[in-house]
Structure 1
């Protein structure tokens, strides 16, 4: 079930919230949690009921493994942990990478193996990582769960089930038993609906409007020039951000209706002035998982610079492969691993020179080079094939020259001659597509780079918005009751919801569902 659907907004969500609080007040918290668990399973199975068997089996097995790890002797803990990690990664590998493996074997060895296409179960990447983190935390005695209902809800809680944020057991589950969360509160509904409305607008209005300028370039084999390539790449850069951050906001808003705090998952990543900062602001919960359970497990930065750079590169390479079974995702991960290595090496140089640049020009250049590097990497993330990604990147570098639509060129007058001297020719067709793309990209860029993000809108510390890089917390500041609803904000929220609802007739899916 999609968040941006009539069924979810007008039926599933209000019925679930109302029934949950009624059961918690009239009967007991445990009965309310049982209802919420089954509601979450219904939410998951709405897309394809067959995969309910998979997620339920995964929950049962991991709950058993977590209990064994919790009560096992020191020598046996590691055995159970390794078994759990291998089992989870094996399941993920089969569904996500088996077809990719077979296709590459056929290409290299020309053996002609034929297999039925395996459909990727919804959210398997997210609930697999979440359960692996639980097993590792159980091994490190950071959490223990002996109640199957509670553990199941930790995995299945519908706001964060499909695409995160990826949460720790100790972050979310205890909140269900806090006394103040067992009854509905006006501030929870005000903040929850407002954050949901912001995310809803970001997804259905901004992201979906940008999508129409992406597919004509990425999903064809037609040759493209510099302007087309950059236009589509910038459109996708902002489409992906508003699509995924919009979903995360909707997830945070839905959870808040139950009084539950979910961590911040995006914090204006396109404001970053370095790749290191970008990964502290983009998909924050995944970055935390990769750092805590992969980078540190590989050795982190304990054994010198070379080992540190190697571990950074391997972490991002595997992170890229986690996103999808394809060479384009491998290249995307390698690019970001390469970016991080260069970024950390540059920081080492600055430290060795005892130079701390503070000029606006330096930070403007740092922002620009970071943003451009991210845009180039998104081409590989989006392109359906490595060949198509390379074609678009080469076009962005000017291989195919540049043309502007004739409808625009004929209105430029003498400027046309200047453009011709620069190698910019006149192409066929009208300029409506180019103009529409430009308008939406500028609007999206203004919102993403200039305006405060959703967490900042709802949080003030001593009257000052969070702005210093690294100062933003994992815990969502919107959950602190410092924000007060007002009439103007209520009107604005209603307008965002109404505008988003008007788009529900069009076909739309969240981009990260495929990962």
Structure 2
């Protein structure tokens, strides 16, 4: 079940929030309250995942059962040898089995089960932390809450077990808060609007562009690349907002996973803002085990490059993802070398000069934008062709097939009663306005989570929430799945 679906918004979400809030009110101070609320989370999460199909749910259930066995073995033998086998061997074997399952289904079999990339990483994180005693003991019910918790199971964030446990404990013991509920609804409406009205509209234009890549004019090619950069931003940002909002409604705070990444002044800064918890996962469970920065500068830079190449492979099959990872990895290494040489932060250096900040942000955005072309293109040939068309495509009028994508019914009803309806450029104007407003949101507005924490609830925020929810729900018929569900 998707967050952007009738069943979720009109049924599962309100039923879940009401059920959890009522149960918490009744059992908050009772001995059995913790168990009941955890079972509530497990039950609703299972229902949520079941809507993706019995095959995917069955595979997820088998993975959970297998990892429960591994977890029990790790706890049993992590403190002592058993016929020469200690907990570390079991942990490494368990991690290997999880990685093999991911590789087998995603790359060898070509069948991509829903959320396998994310729940596999969650399971690996749990197993490693269990072995290192960061998780002191193993309880099946707590493990089920951790791996199943539906706001984060599909696309993250990749939250560590200890952090979610603290938040869950706080939620169970807290009282219902109308203020928190309304802030959560406001945040959810913003995220839903980003996904349904912004990301999916840009997505239609992107699909047109990549279907006609060999005939694009220079301006068309540039716009298509920017449209995809914006689509991915609003798609993932919208999901992160909705995941945080759902958790906020029941008193759980998820880690920040998206922090205005296109405001970054260099590629290092970008990866501190984009998919933050994935960066944290690779740092803790890959970069540091590879040696981190403990084995000299050359090894450190090589480790960075390995992490980005594996990140590219994790995101998808094909050479396009490898090239994307390599593009980010090479620039990341060069940037870190510069920072090490000057013993300073490029963020601070750029921030001290407004002009440098603007130039650095534009250059970083342009580089990320070009790298996203490889991320989206079905082949290296298509990616190179689209980038080439930016320079040799020539001057062509924008086709109506592209601009008509932005001909939303809501705009048409307003425009038809104005003199603009009689002009030949009216739909081009809609496209440019769409682009300008989106750029303003991306580059000049605070991220939604920051806004929610500081906004004063009022009639205005209630009206905005209602408007975004109704507008988005009425537009559900044309929405698509979240992009990161494909990675």
TM-score range, shorter chain: 0.7 to 0.9
Q: Is the 8 A contact 2:170 2:251 kept in 1?
A: no
SS of the residue corresponding to residue 458 of structure 1 reads helix
Question: Mean Cα displacement is larger for which, 12-21 or 127-136?
Answer: 12-21
> 40, 48, 51: which one pairs with 1:35?
40
Query: 1:22 maps to what in 2?
Result: 22
Q: How many residues align?
A: 452
Q: Does structure 2 conserve the Cα–Cα contact (< 8 Å) formed by 1:231 and 1:437?
A: no
- Residue of structure 1 in register with 2:49 after alignment: 44
1:249 CA displacement: 0.5
- Could you tell me how far apart the structure 2 residues matched to 1:32 and 1:161 are? 18
Q: Matches of 2:345 and 2:162 in 1, distance apart?
A: 43
For the residue of structure 2 that corresponds to 1:214, the secondary structure is helix
Deviations 1:99-154 (A, max 9, x none): 4xxxxxxxxxxxxxxxxxx4311000000001111111112211134221221111
Quick check: 1:365 aligned with 2:359? yes
Question: Partners in 1 of 2:399 and 2:139 — Cα distance?
Answer: 67
Does 1:514 find its partner at 2:477? no
What is the match of residue 203 of structure 1? 195
In the alignment, which residue of structure 2 is the partner of 1:470? none
Shift of 1:97: 0.8
Q: Say whether 1:93 aligns with 2:103.
A: yes
- Provide the secondary structure at the position in 1 that maps to 2:130: helix
In the superposition, the TM-score normalised over structure 1's length comes to 0.83
Mark the CA change 1:60 to 1:182 in structure 2 (over 3 Å): closer, same or farther.
Answer: farther
Deviations 1:394-419 (A, max 9, x none): 222x1333323499xxxxxxxxxxxx
1:134 lines up with 2:130 in the alignment: no
1:317 aligned residue? 309
User: How far does residue 224 in structure 1 lie from its aligned partner after superposition?
Assistant: 2.0
Match of 2:370 among 376, 388, 397: 376
Deviation at 1:29, TM superposition (A): 3.0
Q: 1:12 aligned to 2:22?
A: no
TM-score normalised to structure 2 length = 0.87
Task: Determine the C-alpha separation between the residues in 2 that align with 1:132 and 1:153.
Answer: 15
Match of 2:292 in 1: 300
Q: 1:379 to 1:185 in 2, by over 3 A?
A: same
Q: Give 1:223's match in structure 2, choosing from 209, 215, 224.
A: 215
Q: Distance in 2 between matches of 1:486 and 1:154?
A: 35
8 Å Cα contact 1:272-1:278 kept in structure 2: yes
Whether the 8 Å CA contact 1:21–1:182 is kept in 2: the answer is no
How far 1:35 moved relative to its partner? 3.0
* Aligned mates of 1:369, 1:402 — CA distance in 2: 24
Equivalent-residue separation in structure 1 for 2:303 and 2:481 (angstroms): 34
- 1:492 to 2:484 alignment: no
C-alpha separation in 2, matches of 1:359 and 1:174: 41
Return the alpha-carbon distance in structure 1 between the equivalents of residues 345 and 45 of structure 2: 55
CA RMSD of aligned residues (A): 2.3
| 2:441 aligns with one of 444, 447, 452 | 447
**Given the superposition, is the C-alpha separation of residues 442 and 145 from structure 1 closer, same or farther in structure 2, using an over 3 Å criterion?**
farther
> Alignment partner of 2:265: what SS?
coil
Asked if 2 retains the 8 angstrom alpha-carbon contact of 1:195 and 1:249, the reply is yes
Alignment correspondent of 1:458: 452
Change in 2 beyond 3 A, CA 1:456/1:443: same
Q: Hey, what does 2:141 align to over in structure 1?
A: 149
SS at match of 2:340: helix
Gap change, CA 1:180 and 1:338, over 3 Å in 2? same
Give the whole-Å Cα distance in 2 for the aligned partners of 1:300 and 1:4: 40
State the secondary structure of the residue aligned to 1:273: coil
Structure 2 match to 1:178: 170
Query: After the TM superposition, which segments of 4 or more aligned residues of structure 1 sit over 6 Å from their partners?
Result: 352-355, 430-433
Equivalent position SS for 1:244 = helix
Q: 1:154 to 1:502 in 2, by over 3 A?
A: same
Q: Which residue of 2 aligns with 1:503?
A: 475
State the Cα distance separating 1:6 from its structure 2 match: 1.2
Task: Give the Cα separation in 2 of the matches to 1:192 and 1:9.
Answer: 13
- Asked if the contact 2:339/2:345 (under 8 Å) is kept, the reply is no
Q: Within 2, Cα distance between the matches of 1:42 and 1:352?
A: 50
Where 1:266 maps in the other structure, the secondary structure is coil
Distance 1:351 1:23 in 2: 54
1:484 Cα deviation after fit = 4.5
- How do 1:279-358 residues align onto structure 2 when only pairs under 5 Å count? 279-351=271-343, 356=349, 358=352
In structure 2, the partner of 1:278 is: 270
CA deviations over 1:35-66 (Å, ceiling 9, x no partner): 32122111111021122111111112222222
Report the Cα distance in structure 2 between the residues aligned to 1:364 and 1:20, rounded to whole angstroms: 46
Q: Which has the higher helix share?
A: 2
Q: Which blocks of at least 5 consecutive residues in structure 1 are unaligned? A: 100-117, 408-429, 461-482
What's the CA shift for 1:323?
0.5
CA distances 1:328-360 after superposition (whole Å, capped 9, x unpaired): 111111110011011112223434999956332
**Corresponding residue number in structure 2 for 1:394:** 388
